[in-house]
Structure 1
Amino acid sequence: MHDIRAIRENPEAFDAALARRSEAAMSSAILALDEARRGKIAAAENAQAEQNRASKEVGAAKARGDDAEFERLRALVSAKKAEVAQMQAEAKELDAELTDMLARIPNSPAEDVPQGADENDNVEVNRWGEKPELGFAAKEHYEIKGVAAAMDFETAAKTSGARFVMLTGAVARIHRALAQFMLDTHVDENGLTEVNSPVLVRDEAMYGTDKLPKFGDDSYQTTDGYWLVPTSEVPLTYTVANETLEAAELPKRLTAHTLCFRSEAGSAGRDTAGMLRQHQFEKVEMVSITLPEESEAEQKRMLRCAEDILERLDIPYRTVILCTGDMGFGARRTYDIEAWLPGQDAYREISSVSTTGDFQARRMNARYRPADGGKPRFLHTLNGSGLAVGRCLIAVLENGQQEDGSVRLPGALAPYLGGKTMLTADGALS
């Protein structure tokens, strides 16, 4: 959510930020609505003051025995009371309209975010690892002999429809091992607090984390009004909604492994083969709640936490900073980490690490009290995948594939797989 006071003070800067997002100028419409709203509030306050004055004079008129004046003042009080109610109702309507308008406007990009139209304009900032020289034609994850039977799309389609998968046997265990490895690393080494969070949330949580109203079509809603989380960013970030924390409590660093659900609206025909783009998937999420002056450094710290997971798994990757045209609605700056997938001969996104500044905090009224005891200020919130478990499984399988259909597994997973380091062509661990 944008700060209406900042728009009043510098509408040109606000419109310039929108232009970087290829959005039309909106300051004039916003300020006109804001002026009308404030006008109604002022009118209600004036009418209330007149009502209060008349109310005081009613008793005096009655004490004097001035019946005519008494009746006139009673009528005035009644009229002013109705006028106050009308002005307040109109102000409330305009306030809701203004709030809704602001809620649909994307966050302003940070100054260092590159200008661009789409993913082709993203800028690479880091690259790690050597692409494996397989010596044979690479297969996609679902084509690898040792994997194919354990990655069952047909049975999943029978039970749930397209874009679902059932993992069985050793492949299911590798998937679970990846999530455990990520959680243990983030908790034991990166200082995050593990949370077992709900996957059903209310409207307020989706709204506060900028998923509503803009992206309602991309999420699933139950018949009784709950939303299935698109990511545990939603419940983790919303833990501080309507709270005023002490500066000494920050930063709060949280992580959770959850099921995630996305309708993938607008992605028809994209990545339909395999398990790259699913309606249901698992992710280990990282969320940080910080002081404003620490959020820049915190984003870099979170980015390294995610990159380090891939390095420990020996997965080649590259990191890009997203351009203005490819950045998410609530982000001020986003880094994507893209893992190398030999089967696709391409780098594909496996993590996004974003800072939202105070954009989400304003929506959910999350503040902190400065150490010097000053007026409470809005927090900064950050989120990042640490990592997407299914996509990490794809990267492990494709980068470790052998010509005979077996898969060499990362040594980092051995403690979670009973010391096993290979998925055989028969689909067993050895």
Structure 2
Amino acid sequence: MESTSPPGVMPTARQNPFDPPEELRRRQRLGPIHRMTYADGDQGWLVTGFAAARATLTDPRFSVRPDRMRSPTAQPATAPAPPGFFLRTDPPEHDHYRRLLTGHFTVRRMKLLEPEIEAIVNDHLNAMELAGGPADLLKTFALPFPSQVIGELLGVPYSDRQGFQRNAATLLNADLTPEPRQAAVRELMAYLRDLLRHKRSRPEEDVLSGLAAHEGLAADEKAGLALLLLIAGHETTANLLALGTFALLANPAQLAEVRDQEEGAPAVVEELLRYLTIIPHVVRVAREDTELHGCPIKAGESVTVALSAANRDADHFTDPDALDLTRSTAGHLAFGHGLHRCLGQRLARAEIRIALPALLRRFPALRLTVAPEEVPLRSAMTVYGVRELPVTW
């Protein structure tokens, strides 16, 4: 049932960089679903319980279309998504776009990609070692490594990374008004349309060449699909890797658990995903009057699913606030759930499983050069993480 918690916009202030905002946890202790006031004053709902979150994310009566949903942050409602950006589309449109890309992210394709991931990791670690410390781990390793991996998979030149990284950061900054974020989308779409035209005339063995040759898609649809893959393919892994390293530096016993393994075990990656949950929340909107765990949801009301809180639900996870890399946390919601579960989850898992142990083995004395409370956080970003991670070794 609905808690008696007072309504309020999505809390972002964190007492601990690895824990969800305390206000979210307070509301969670009062119940799994709460009334919430959105940025424009509209009334909606906040889901903090694990079971309620799963139910919301699998219920076809909830939509992801941005023209219907409210913004849970201080900024106005979500801007329209470009064509092909299927993260913000419902079936059957969503299914049509997703099917075009599923074959590029199968278990078999990711397994074949692992030697290339290992080589890219080693190249960046070699560059770090040659340059010497101190360094910003985000800038020197956590961001360039997945940017190169997704670039090679898609066929986006690594030399263009500064432009797409800058625009991706702008697009994901929830503190900004819609205008600069939409300007970043326009710039990225223009870049990708040009690149797709080039791929059509000079195809290679990459995802964009396949999209460029597809006769059933308009140019903007192809660019929108490429935009989603490019942004999600480097921002999520980069922030998980940097924040995960920070969390391990704060937990030396758990760090040794990762470093001493020949290769990151699946349980290690899954627990880091659950514990950190770098996509803090997602929003759905009710298509019709419905009910969720005893709460009446009206058609048109937005429901914010607090994934970070749900992944710390004590009714589902034992001792949820502890980082325990030896336990199994299968079924967590870090990649979402249901129809919109992250398409690139296998790639992200492979990258972290390979990169994190390699980093810690190469630099066994890795340590922060500032106090933990001085590490700047991306609290206002759609993808949570650190703005920089000053380290030496």
Coarse TM-score class (shorter-chain normalised): under 0.3
Choose between structure 1 and 2: higher helix proportion: 2
State TM-score, norm by structure 1: 0.21
Choose between structure 1 and 2: higher strand proportion: 1
Give the structure, 1 or 2, with the largest relative contact order (CA under 8 Å, sep 6 or more): 2
State TM-score, norm by structure 2: 0.23
Q: Which of the two has higher C-alpha Rg?
A: 1
